Amino acid sequence: MNETSEMVARDSLSLETAYASPTGETEQIIADIWAQVFSISGIGVDDDFFELGGDSLAAESITRMVSEKFGVSVKSGALVESSTIREIANVISSANRPSLPSHIVPLRSTGNRIPIFIVHGAAGILFPTSSFMEGFHDDQPVYAFQVPGYDGQCQPLDTIEEIAAEYLKCMRMVSPDGPWHLAAFCQGSWIAFEMAAQLGRESKSPSSLTMIDPVMHMGRMLNEHLQFLRSRKNPLARAFSEARWIARVQMDKFRCFRATGQWINPYHPDAYDLPGVWEWIRQRDLARHDTHAQNNARADEPHGVQGKFDTEKELERRRSKDANSATARLEIAYYRYCPNAPLTIPVHLIASEKQNRQLNNPLYPLRRFLPTLTITVLGKTHRQTVSTTGPENSSIIQRVADEASCLV
């Protein structure tokens, strides 16, 4: 997958698929792109993306290069249903006849079951492997969202509320009156939360809602949680806590001023409107993410998410300007979001062992915002739990959907 490595001959890979050469300019251009990304010469038009070792980084590179070359929007999730050069060429030929917005990806559009809609995590896209898709029934329609603006086909949205409303609009384009099953990875769980809340204001709800290891985001959600905890202390303890909080805020302001020249609390929503401050926040959080990922990687084998190069920085390097802009706006939206009220519908939570320990605390935000929880523990760490390299998560999503469908 290293773009600078020497080419490997296809014949040395012992692929089961018979070689079929490109026919026509479109297939040849796509074959050249695949050769560049995989560092494999002589790839056939029927060779499968996943059998060649494709992962989320390869998909990001291929779809970006194909989209730029042909001037059409090809999403990385399209490689699930169209995983060969021949099939991608067919996608390009039909690209002028879109039936859905570019930020909803049909992972499997056939079948008569109630459709499942999956919200991406913090990266703004969901890249499901073929193994992940094996967890769903063969006749189960599955759709995934990617953050609006990721492919440059529309302007990014600024708030979680706006993104949730847009995703509901897309859901209704597939199934106007429902029912719908809803699932979400990581931070995307808060988009799904808001989608369910907006449906609730219409006296509707998803048939099932599955959240995969959501976390409390830095910013407004964390600030309000800390304020909630301080409000529950006795007067003396509250005064001490307030003093510690003020000292922490002043220290954060000092760090921000030293780095950016702006005297502002980096966790205050106004800070996200200052480009220099926001970039500093992003780079700081990326560094923290990489450190956390490296610490967890030792415990993750053999369940690593997408390989040793699949870090936020590597994805950012390979993404287009539009994609990076959209994910940056998404991150700001997460920073600014906090639920206004608990979600009273049943929610199935797939939690890491670490998350499950925190859920024992009744004051933990997920317990307060999601009072009707059913929990399945999967994986020790967050990285393991949100993996799409196997069918574990999809099997649970399918089971929850099946159980809920029996009640419809």
CATH number of the domain residue 280 falls in: 3.40.50.1820
pLDDT at 151: 83
Point out which residues pair with 208 in neighbouring strands. Answer: 181
Please state the φ and ψ torsions of residue 116, each to the nearest 5 degrees.
-105, 130
Question: Quick one: 279 and 358 in the same domain?
Answer: yes
Task: Determine, yes or no, domain membership for 118.
Answer: yes
**Res 143: pLDDT:** 95
177 located within any domain: yes
Query: Alpha-carbon distance 89 to 109, whole Å?
Result: 19
Same domain for 73 and 123 = no
Q: What is the pLDDT of residue 1?
A: 47
What does the pLDDT read at residue 310?
A: 44
Please state, as a whole number, how many other Cβ atoms lie within 10 Å of the Cβ of residue 218: 17
Q: Are residues 130 and 170 part of one domain?
A: yes
Structure tokens at 103: 């930020």
Q: Single out the residue in 98, 118, 147 at which a domain terminates.
A: 98
259 Cβ contact list (under 8 Å, min separation 6): 280
**Alpha-carbon dihedral sign for residues 88, 92, 98, 99:** negative
Helix (H, G, I), strand (E, B) or coil at 351: strand
352 in the same domain as 210: yes
Instruction: Indicate the residue among 65, 81, 98 that finishes a domain.
Output: 98
Q: Given 98, 127, 159, which residue is the final one in a domain?
A: 98
Whether residue 54 is found in the same domain as residue 126: no
Question: Does residue 188 share a domain with residue 136?
Answer: yes
pLDDT for position 331: 86
Domain that holds residue 308: 101-215+274-408
Residues 382 and 359 in one domain: yes
Residue 268 belongs to a domain: no
Supply the CATH number for residue 3's domain: 1.10.1200.10
Assigned domain for 294 exists: yes
Tell whether 207 is covered by a domain: yes
Q: Considering its fold, how many domains does the chain have in total?
A: 2
Query: For the purposes of burial, counting CB atoms within 10 Å of the CB of 295, is it exposed (0-12), middle (13-18) or buried (19 or more)?
Result: exposed
Does 194 share its domain with 340?
yes
Q: Are residues 63 and 153 in the same domain?
A: no
Q: Tell me the whole-structure pTM to 2 decimals.
A: 0.69
Tell me whether residue 15 is in a domain: yes
Tell me if 224 is assigned to some domain.
no
pLDDT in tens, the chain (408 residues): 444 457 888 888 888 888 998 887 889 999 999 999 999 999 999 999 988 988 888 888 888 888 888 877 777 677 777 889 998 888 887 665 457 888 998 999 888 899 999 999 988 888 888 899 999 999 999 999 999 988 888 888 989 999 999 999 999 998 888 899 999 999 999 999 999 999 999 999 999 999 999 988 777 777 777 777 667 666 766 676 667 767 877 888 888 898 888 898 877 777 777 888 878 876 776 666 555 555 555 544 443 333 433 445 555 556 677 888 888 889 888 888 889 899 999 999 999 999 999 898 888 888 889 999 999 999 999 989 999 989 999 999 999 999 998 765
Sign of the C-alpha dihedral, residues 382, 386, 390, 394? positive
**Length of the chain as a residue count:** 408
**Which pLDDT score, from 0 to 100, does residue 235 have?**
72
